[in-house]
Amino acid sequence: MMSAATDGSIAVVGGTGHQGSALALRWAAAGIPVLLGSRDGNRARVQAQVLMARLVARSGAAPIAGMSNDEVVQQARRVVLTVPFAAHVRTLRALRDSLLPGTVLVDVTVPLAVAVGGPATQTITPWAGSAAEQAAGLVPEGISVCAAFQHLAAGALAELDTPVDCDVLVCGDMREAKGAVRLLVQAIPGARYVDAGPLERARLVEPLGALLIALNLRHKVDHCGLRITGLPG
Ligand SMILES: NC(=O)c1ccc[n+]([C@@H]2O[C@H](COP(=O)([O-])OP(=O)(O)OC[C@H]3O[C@@H](n4cnc5c(N)ncnc54)[C@H](OP(=O)(O)O)[C@@H]3O)[C@@H](O)[C@H]2O)c1
């Protein structure tokens, strides 16, 4: 039998949350099997059932299975990290020995100042420069880290029948890893992949997530997005 590690599943760490669950819904709706992770395997199983109920009438949808964070990363070579910045270091330290060699780790984290008691409309600067660079310093050699999806609002993703209206700026140092992320972006109707350069560029990209939160509040909307104009293609 084909193992999950080779069947193209995506593992979503922190998948019971707003962003992880919403991304999981979109990918499963696009036919990509999702392994939904949590610190508590039971919580993940319950949330996976809730999400599957939303997909029941959709043809071509792939399954969402819930289990512990540790279990999901052992079964997928594409791992998406969707935990609050306050949990970033602890989560990666807990999982580093379980990541499969060759894994592409996609970090969605915006280092919001909430992590240190500040507002969600501001960010803090991690010592490494960005959350994604912090992640790269915490994972074993052979794991490629990309930063992506920080500007796609969970609320927009969760409206399955409406295409999102947002570019996805992808930062990373490995061309092959970025290719894997491109496929994940293209699986979400309305999302456009934009290569934003090396992982270091996440220093500029991540804080825009806080800007979008500020714009939501100022304009009393739920999920504004980001579009870059003037690019070829
Ligand atoms: N929400 C959005 O619209 C949005 C948009 C762009 C980017 N993001 C980024 O995506 C990430 C997740 O955001 P979210 O809104 O989904 O967050 P969330 O719902 O508050 O949390 C996501 C999951 O992280 C786990 N978690 C929470 N606190 C934790 C802790 N102290 N230690 C370990 N795990 C913890 C929880 O899973 P378990 O309890 O099941 O383990 C939770 O369900 C953040 O970094 C955020 O900046 C969010």
Tell whether ligand 1 has an atom less than 6 A from the beta carbon of residue 134.
no
Question: What is the Cα–Cα distance from 49 to 46, expressed in whole angstroms?
Answer: 5
pLDDT on residue 7: 65
What is the Å distance from ligand 1's center to 131 Cα?
14
Domain ranges across the chain: 4-219
pLDDT on residue 233: 76
Ligand 1 pocket test: pick from 18, 80, 217 the residue with the most ligand atoms within 8 Å of its Cβ: 18
Distance spanning both ends of the chain, measured CA to CA:
41
What is the Å distance from ligand 1's center to 232 Cα?
34
Hey, which bits of 42-133 come out as E strands? Answer: 64-68, 78-81, 104-107
| Residues of the chain below pLDDT 70 | 1-7
80's tokens: 């998406």
pLDDT on residue 3: 47
> Which amino acid type is present at position 207?
P
Tell whether ligand 1 has an atom less than 6 A from the beta carbon of residue 86.
yes
Cβ contacts of residue 24 below 8 Å, gap of 6+? 10, 12, 15, 34, 36, 51, 64
Question: Helix 41-55 crosses helix 18-29 at what angle (to 10 degrees)?
Answer: 50
Q: Which numbered atom of ligand 1 lies nearest the CA of 109?
A: 45
What is the Å distance from ligand 1's center to 86 Cα?
9
Element (H, E) at 133: helix 131-138
CATH of the domain spanning 4-219: 3.40.50.720
